[in-house]
Amino acid sequence: MNSAINSQTGKYDRIPVLDMGPYLAGEPGAREQLATQLRHVQENIGFYVVTNNGVDFSRLDAAYEALKKFFALPIDEKLKFSIDDTSLGYVPIRSTVYITSIINENTKKDLNETLTLARERPADHPAVKQRRRFHGPNRWPEIEGFRDAVVAYQETIAALGHNLLPLYALALDKPADFFDPYFNDPIMWSRNAYYPPVKPEDNQFGIAPHCDHSFLTMLPLAEEPGLQILDQDKNWMWPDPVENGVLVNTGEFLNRWTNGRFLPTPHRVVPPKHDRYSIATFFNPDSETSSEALNTCVSADNPAKFETTSMQAYVEHYIDTNYLRGAGGTQENVA
């Protein structure tokens, strides 16, 4: 881990960087050492960057190129893919307000466009046939190579998510394979976003301050700055640029599962100086997974803090209560 901790305060003054290379190479003791580092990060700041992470960045580049073509389409074409009852699809700029932020009273519509796509599943998958939210079916733009590029990236970023699971298990004093049964059919989707270089109003953001809903979120560091993370002293921090780095953060579901032990840190995106594209992947366990606090995270002196819910119920509640959509007449309800 890089020297992200200030020697005088003992707090993180930069986002820590964790090298996955020795672990993925199978070096003796590397997995346990990395899990120990991860535990400290998760209990104190909740964000880190992984390098030598196994992600095929040529697939990321291809996905970015595909998304740029989509966002360059006329608005009428993009609106054909407007978000629907599956919570997948397109949302135009100035269409969402994050209404329950714990650190900021957000009142202005966010300055980004998004296309939300689920992990691609077969058309005959039961959850796809049921049109279960966040599961599918995806609606793919008729842009040559678009679907193939996005699905290929989904595969490589999902592999990173699965490779992180043993580290989280060990960090929580569980066997390395503890989380495997909970990720047989993970709820995973990507928030593919375009942030244009526009001037904001007061208290307006590319995306307003918030915490993620997920087990964890994986975000390759964008070339154009914009993301800021709230540090331990409640100041906004910029991540350092790290070549081929993927930013990973704790979501609220993992926070509940760990009884508040692993932190879901607030973050935001300020409008960039130049076009900014990002692909945030929310990596979550199977839909019926319970958030009941892990037994290594509760004790007589530290009883369970949260009401138990399922992954599916929690993420539906999160989306339905946190985001107000409706700008431009595209959608007039809270969804």
Region 215-221 average pLDDT? 97
**DSSP β-ladder status, 227-230 and 236-237:** antiparallel
Write the pLDDT tens digit of every residue in 87-123: 999 999 887 776 666 666 667 788 899 999 999 999 9
**Is the confidence at residue 327, as pLDDT, over 90?**
no
**Is the confidence at residue 330, as pLDDT, over 50?**
no
Write the pLDDT tens digit of every residue in 16-44: 999 999 999 999 999 999 999 999 999 99
pLDDT at 329: 28
pLDDT at 93: 87
Query: Measured between alpha carbons, how far is 287 from 292 in angstroms, rounded to an integer?
Result: 14
**Is the confidence at residue 174, as pLDDT, over 80?**
yes
149 touches 63 (CB < 8 A): yes
Share of the chain above pLDDT 90, in %: 78
**pLDDT range class, residue 147, cuts 50, 70, 90:** very high
In a domain, 105, yes or no: yes
In a domain, 334, yes or no: no
In a domain, 2, yes or no: no
CA 267 to chain centre: 11
Alpha-carbon dihedral 185, 315, 280, 148, rounded to 10 degrees:
40
**pLDDT range class, residue 1, cuts 50, 70, 90:** low
Q: Give 135-142's long-range contacts (Cβ < 8 A, gap of 24+).
A: 135/86, 135/187, 135/287, 136/86, 136/88, 137/86, 138/88, 139/81, 139/88, 139/89, 141/70, 141/73, 141/81
pTM above 0.85, yes or no: yes
DSSP three-state, residue 216: strand
In a domain, 324, yes or no: yes
In a domain, 5, yes or no: no
**pLDDT range class, residue 223, cuts 50, 70, 90:** confident
**Is the confidence at residue 244, as pLDDT, over 70?**
yes
Structurally, the chain folds into a number of domains equal to 1
In a domain, 278, yes or no: yes
pLDDT at 100: 60
In a domain, 26, yes or no: yes
Q: State both tokens at 128.
A: 């796809």
**pLDDT range class, residue 334, cuts 50, 70, 90:** very low
Report the mean per-residue pLDDT for the chain. Answer: 91
295 touches 76 (CB < 8 A): no
Region 271-297 average pLDDT? 97
Query: Measured between alpha carbons, how far is 321 from 32 in angstroms, rounded to an integer?
Result: 39
265 touches 47 (CB < 8 A): yes
In a domain, 260, yes or no: yes
Angle subtended at Cα 136 by Cα 289 and Cα 247, rounded to the nearest 5 degrees: 65
pLDDT at 108: 77
DSSP class of residue 195? E
Q: Quick one: which of 226, 231, 225, 219 has its CA closest to 205?
A: 226
Q: Which residue has the higher pLDDT, 177 or 332?
A: 177
Region 233-237 average pLDDT? 92
Q: What is the CATH number of the domain that holds 107?
A: 2.60.120.330
**pLDDT range class, residue 222, cuts 50, 70, 90:** confident
Segments in the chain forming alpha helices (H): 21-24, 30-44, 57-71, 75-78, 126-129, 146-171, 252-257, 311-322
**Is the confidence at residue 226, as pLDDT, over 60?**
yes
Share of the chain above pLDDT 70, in %: 92
Q: Structural domain of residue 161, as residue ranges?
A: 17-329
Residue 153: partners with Cβ closer than 8 Å, 6 or more residues away: 59, 60, 62, 63, 279
Q: State both tokens at 278.
A: 């990002």
217 touches 249 (CB < 8 A): yes
**pLDDT range class, residue 325, cuts 50, 70, 90:** low
